[in-house]
Amino acid sequence: MKCAFRASARCGCECPQVCDDHVVTEPATSRPHVIVLFGATGDLARRKLLPGLFHITASKLAPECRIVGTSLDDLGDSGFAALARAACDEFSTRVIDPGGWAEFEKRLHYVPQSAGAAALAAAVREQQAELGDDVELLHYLSVPPKAAVAVVRTLAEADLVAHSRIIMEKPFGTDLASATALNATIRETFAEDQIFRIDHFLGKEPALNVLAMRFANGLFEPIWNRTFIDHVQIDVPELLSVQGRAEFYESTGAFRDMVVTHLFQILAFTAMEPPTDLTPAAISEAKNKVFRSMLPIDPANVVRGQYRGYRNEPGVSTESETETFVALRCDIDNWRWAGVPFYLRTGKCLAEGQRIISIAFRQPPKSMFAEESGVGAEGPDHLTFDLADASKVSLSFYGKRPGPGMRLDKLSLQFGLYETDTAKDVLEAYERLILDAMHGDHTLFTTSEGIERLWEVSAPLLADPPPVKSYEPGSWGPNAIHQLVAPNAWRLPFERAWRGIEAQ
């Protein structure tokens, strides 16, 4: 094992400057950790982070750890423990074992932000001392983007940078200039391999299943290219409105909030070349090659929408042009994907909440079936990934209808994770990603190069966005989305529902 981080100030070695020889050659999976949770009383912490931390510590998936929470609220250890218990009771998807909770509660500590950097440092050092030698730090910044730089400066002032990693929430800037500036500012304190830019979409079991389906099966990889695939859709409609987040949403909109940080990352998993291996560096490079091959987004290939009633939200201007919906076409200019359009759609207040990747295969060049046979009547064959936690995959195709004559129906083969004996072992996205960060595994995280390239290809759209079109809450967005994908059609809404557990 070589030293943990590249810079001597961060790894404790004797080299006087940043040195490429000082990198992790294997993950340190058993070192104890102190997790410093900024924004510890916020919505994300209550809904996902605290329940997730309880599960991975109680189940012994995580190494021995202590949790030091900090936020604007004036709490003590007992108040923080009560908040964490209420959060787990409300949001955990698992039964809370009393014995496990008693152990977890002992790990929780709290320092109000008003106490300053010195108090935070003292609390962390106390927990480090209790854990013994070789303790690492994991800082989770569950804070608004505008507060991230201030938190980083607090960590530097508290001398909590050495032997640490930092998890940052999106958005990573709002354009190329701000993303470049943010990355430069963070790297004044942390080395790039200490920074983990989180995208919870990539931590989901179904997203990883895309890699497994593609690269582990001789059935799919040979046909995963422009010769056999007609187009790809990545569709993430949401039922919810902005729900009191109007101030945040007004400064971002659907494109910055969802497309750059989530949908483009899913696109990279779908489109990337086979990596040389499954190491973090190889997968990151394969994703970045996709981003480098993306053509700049043409505003003519973008539909922006705003649901009726958005301008009545508190904090929203009556003349707001912020989009709550966006659909667009992306093109990847490389050997594998030239000429294959990628259609992306996401928005608030839509008809359904879904997370779908749909691969549409080319139809045979000539059909010997009669027009009335039904072949092609329900669109092309599809391979569909449901990225919801249920993790389902469907392969649709045409097959003969039983009976006389040659009538064809659209059929499908479906798989659901609930059909396996290991469904209970699924980790929620934040649980997986926190564990990966503790182990120093960047596989499912975003690099500064990738983020800056995505803002670069987004520049034409940000400079000249098309006007927003209104749409009714509960619809699928503005009518212009149909012209965007013509002569194809949107995969959602599905004509046939997924088969559920009750159908098995």
Report the DSSP pairing between strands 108-110 and 65-70.
Answer: parallel
Do 179 and 200 meet the contact criterion of CB atoms below 8 Å apart? no
The pLDDT assigned to 25 comes to 32
The predicted-structure confidence for 257-307, as pLDDT tens digits, reads as follows: 999 989 999 999 999 999 998 888 899 999 999 999 999 999 999 999 999
Q: Is the pTM of this model over 0.85?
A: yes
Matching residue, tokens 């013509």: 486
User: Choosing from 163, 262, 382, 442, which is the catalytic residue?
Assistant: 262
Q: Which domains does the chain have, with CATH numbers?
A: 23-169 (3.40.50.720), 202-494 (3.30.360.10)
Residue 471 or residue 24, greater confidence: 471
Q: In the predicted model, what is the mean pLDDT of residues 331-360?
A: 96
State pLDDT tens for residues 464-485. Answer: 999 999 999 999 999 999 999 9
CA distance 42 to 187: 26
Residue 348, annotated ligand binder?
Answer: yes
Instruction: Say if residue 238 carries a ligand binding annotation.
Output: yes
9/401: higher pLDDT: 401
Q: Residue type at 108? A: L
Distances (CA, A) of 222 to 92, 219, 334, 455: 41, 7, 17, 32
SS3 471: strand
130 a known binding residue? Answer: no
Pairwise CA distance, residues 430 & 329, whole Å: 29
Question: Is 100 flagged in the annotation as binding?
Answer: no
Instruction: Look up 482 and say whether it is catalytic.
Output: no
Three-state DSSP state, 468 = coil
Taken in order 173, 175, 181, 184, the sign of the CA dihedral is positive
Task: Return the C-alpha torsion angle 210, 214, 219, 225, nearest 10.
Answer: 110
Q: Residue 265 has which token pair? A: 């990352």
Q: Is 441 flagged in the annotation as binding?
A: no
Q: Is 439 within any annotated ligand binding site?
A: no
When pLDDT is cut at 50, 70 and 90, the band that residue 397 belongs to is confident
Q: What is the band of 151 on the pLDDT scale with cuts at 50, 70, 90?
A: very high
Mean pLDDT of the chain: 87
What is residue 494's three-state secondary structure?
A: coil
Structure token pair of residue 69: 């929470």
Contacts of 281 (CB under 8 A, 6+ apart): 442
User: Residues 337-350: pLDDT tens digits?
Assistant: 999 999 999 999 99
Instruction: Check the annotation: does 245 bind a ligand.
Output: no
Separation between Cα atoms, residue 203 and residue 192, nearest integer Å: 20
